[in-house]
Amino acid sequence: MRFYKDSNKIYLDSAKASPMYYELLKWRNNYEKKSLIEKSEIRNNHENKVHQVKNQVSDFFNVKNGDVFFSNSFSQAFHSLISEIKGNPTFVVLEEDYPSISDSIKRNNFKIIFVKNDNNLEQNLEDVVKRHKPDFLAISIVQWIDGLKLDLDFLKSLKSKNQNLTIIGDGTQFCGTSKFDFDNSAFDVIISSGYKWMFSGYGVAFILIKETFYKNNFMLMNKINMKQCLEIGHFDMLAIGSLSLSLNKLQIMIESIEKKLVDYSKILMSELSKLNLISKKIKNRNQHSTIFNINDKNGNLYEFLTRNNIVCSQRGDGVRISLSFFNTKSEIKRFVQILKKFN
């Protein structure tokens, strides 16, 4: 993957959207030109292409005992999925998790229990599940505001102790950052948009569903019903083709990407901790993503960073920065130097 680099700016906003890369730009331009010439005929083979890309997703995430579906975004897919749930289930959700999760649950009038997202996150989850015996846990693998990464081994342990608990994961800030074995994970369902760490642009999301999910007491569905529920209308073939190209790239690169991101996370964790700019909750985690939320007590940090050509986002009470594999250690060093001037 080759990216456009502005020597005057440092792009630290991949948690908002991954940038386009040159090979994808070329492919998309060629597709649009082909569409111009072939008109409606360009869609004649789209069902075979969709099937091919589903197989790519299945191979990349090891989905051998389940199904892959497509939608246009996490929010759309999650809402469509839980709207098919029957009865009066109870959901457990983290405080301050991605709003589309709790919003959809509330719109369906399901019972919702919020878990405190603090230093004792895993213990809080275990206590709530033990006390309330919920039917569903809906949770982001990596939190959108501060980048907190769930302990996946803990979730497997939680699932083994609570076999009737169905776990639905938002993988949007996680998928594409490391190798992930869906079949051997705690999750019954993973939904992820493609425009962040999957480098696929807007308009495509994928849904991974285990066979066991169809046997849930609250789901009166099979694979055919699920397809009708999730895959409504036409596919955006430009978006699905973009996902296909990126999967080809990521399949080769994912191990080196994971290694680099783990390294970057440790470097930035160390530097931000020295400056006392991240929460104790994040400092105490054994593992973390490359998304960080920097304390902004006076409310001026975002403007300062923007003036100094740091591309970032305001999230929660701070400024969110996020490193991808195309960032460099020299960019991290330059960013920290800029941050010290403000601090």
Q: Residue 192: enclosing H or E segment and its boundaries?
A: strand 189-193
Q: In this structure, are residues 180 and 165 in contact, taking their beta carbons and an 8 Å threshold?
A: no
Q: For residue range 25-66, what is the model confidence (pLDDT) as tens digits?
A: 999 999 999 999 988 888 888 899 999 999 999 999 999 989
**pLDDT tens-place string over residues 253-291:** 999 999 999 999 999 999 999 999 999 999 999 899 999
Q: Is the dihedral of CA 211, 249, 100, 300 positive or negative?
A: positive
Q: Where would I find the H helices in the chain?
A: 22-38, 46-61, 74-82, 99-107, 121-132, 152-161, 223-230, 237-274, 280-283, 301-307, 329-342
User: What is the average per-residue pLDDT within 189-212?
Assistant: 96
Sorted by where each starts, the structural domains of the chain and their CATH numbers stand as 10-20+254-342 (3.90.1150.10), 25-246 (3.40.640.10)
Enter the pTM of the model: 0.95
Exposed, middle or buried, 119 (CB in 10 Å: 0-12/13-18/19+)?
A: middle
